[in-house]
Structure 1
């Protein structure tokens, strides 16, 4: 299969309401499948919403959101995880879901990739949260820079400003990535005061990724609704200026950099759809394949440590490494099987 339809979600999250958010995610999955998509991509931390509050006020003020954000983040193997897996299976569609992952007492910016049977292809974490994101989220590791073989082709995922990390991008290009799922938050934060956070720079990052990698990029972007603005800004005009309504700039790019998806205004919710043809990749890479014929390994090379990193490793004096106290993340239960208790 080389020709099929893909979709990207552009919508405000159900901020701090994971039950409503999962229900809306299932609805978008169903809608994308009904429109003929074989893959649907969601924005960064769309469940339970990007934590814009960390950019809007002092730490003491932000603390009001800490408990609610933690409780509405998602654990692998939970009923929420199972609901998304079931929706993928019921609709015969692959899903790349951006979410805040809860593991023990920590949170991670995560992307979970489900195949069309509901099985988990990959759970990945953002390697380095950006700026004040580091006050909320932990880090991933080299095992999160991976491109997976799927029924639709070789698919990878990155979040937000990972698309400004040259070495991380190169690690993905080198794995012959064909379709890239790019998860973005809303792109109007500090509008007019921080150009690098705006849509011009960040949509350009997705476009350049497509050209550099010679791949299709599905760049899903959230937006801020009036309801979310009211929760975050509490009627404060200064905060509302920093966090305006809108900011959805979802795009789908071809390997030559063209925007091939349908367009939505930045304040409008819906799906951006595009037909893709993987045979186009050969034409793009005939001109430039940066990890192939266009590389100069005698001059520059990348070293990638893809081993998972754990904070505690158990050793025995005679047997060496015997256990990892931190267990691997559980896979989603197979559809129609009971999920782990919440």
Structure 2
């Protein structure tokens, strides 16, 4: 029996690739080349979409949690120099790699715009065109020292593609109820959750900033939205510790910064009912996680729960 197509959805499972990798800290040329290499690898393995972590170019600024403002300012200058402008030759090279591999790319970058930096996700089509570019609506905590707020267009974060309706959020945007609801309302089906490297609890750090809590928040989004989630994350090795000035003598009684750790990866693909579709990879593992997404799973999940459809009561909250 041949099943009729559903709207504009793909008629067969979609193969995706999700990145877990260490950034090329403060090295824009190496970062762009590594990005292109991962895109090429995913294309050769017949993936139709590749999802990258937050700020994979030039790497999440783990230094910002560990130094005084004076020292942070010195790191910020190097970070600024190795960030990327949207219309730069670096982004042109990445778009050409996407076109050559015939793959859709969702890339996390530190976007440099004149004198400012923004945390951004760029959606690139398999023909190399920019389909959508959005900035993180508000940097979290100490990130605000480095990055600016987005403008109102950050709420447009889902687009129709031949692979379905693809969207994304970055890091702690996944704990913003209204932002998540807005994402669901746009009919998202494949969600790219771009995260940095995250670690187990250290000292007095709040639990919500641990890898366990952030993983839970991302699984919750999958259940609430009835969507596939591609959780992409970075790792940090001794190279990253050195680049970010996180290798220091241990001082008795002084708390170690929570980013002064190795590992940090927790990449996974999550089903619309919240379960993991891929096996857990080690926190220090580097590579691509592949998975095939069958949209039947979305339809089954939404038969039970559709918070912007049959499982909603907007009349109660409208005055």
TM-score over 0.5 (shorter chain): yes
- Residue 31 of structure 2 corresponds to 21
User: Do the aligned partners of 2:51 and 2:192 also contact (CA within 8 Å) in 1?
Assistant: yes
- Residue 222 of structure 2 corresponds to 210
- Residue 272 of structure 1 corresponds to 289
Match status 1:161 vs 2:172:
yes
User: Do the aligned partners of 2:61 and 2:244 also contact (CA within 8 Å) in 1?
Assistant: no
SS at match of 1:247: coil
Q: Structure 1 length normalisation: TM-score?
A: 0.85
CA distance in 2, matches of 1:214, 1:142: 25
- Residue 118 of structure 1 corresponds to 128
Distance apart, 1:234 and its partner CA: 5.3
| CA distances 1:35-66 after superposition (whole Å, capped 9, x unpaired) | 22110011000100001111111101112211
Q: Between Structure 1 and Structure 2, how many residues are aligned?
A: 302
CA distance in 2, matches of 1:280, 1:190: 34
SS at match of 1:298: coil
Structural mapping, 1:49-64, within 5 Å? 49-64=59-74
Tell me which stretches of 4 or more aligned residues in structure 1 moved more than 3 Å: 189-193, 237-242
User: Do the aligned partners of 1:13 and 1:48 also contact (CA within 8 Å) in 2?
Assistant: yes
Instruction: List runs of 5+ in structure 2 lacking aligned partners.
Output: 1-9, 251-255
| CA distances 1:82-135 after superposition (whole Å, capped 9, x unpaired) | 011001000010000001001111100000000100000101000010001011
CA distance in 2, matches of 1:119, 1:242: 35
- Residue 160 of structure 2 corresponds to 149
Q: Structure 2 length normalisation: TM-score?
A: 0.91
Please tell me the root mean square deviation across aligned C-alpha atoms, in Å: 1.6
SS at match of 1:118: coil
| CA distances 1:250-301 after superposition (whole Å, capped 9, x unpaired) | 1110101111124320011011111111121111111010011111111226
| CA distances 1:174-217 after superposition (whole Å, capped 9, x unpaired) | 01100001100001176354222111111111111111000000
Structure 1 pair 69–8 and aligned structure 2 pair: CA distance change class (3 A): same
User: Do the aligned partners of 1:224 and 1:247 also contact (CA within 8 Å) in 2?
Assistant: yes
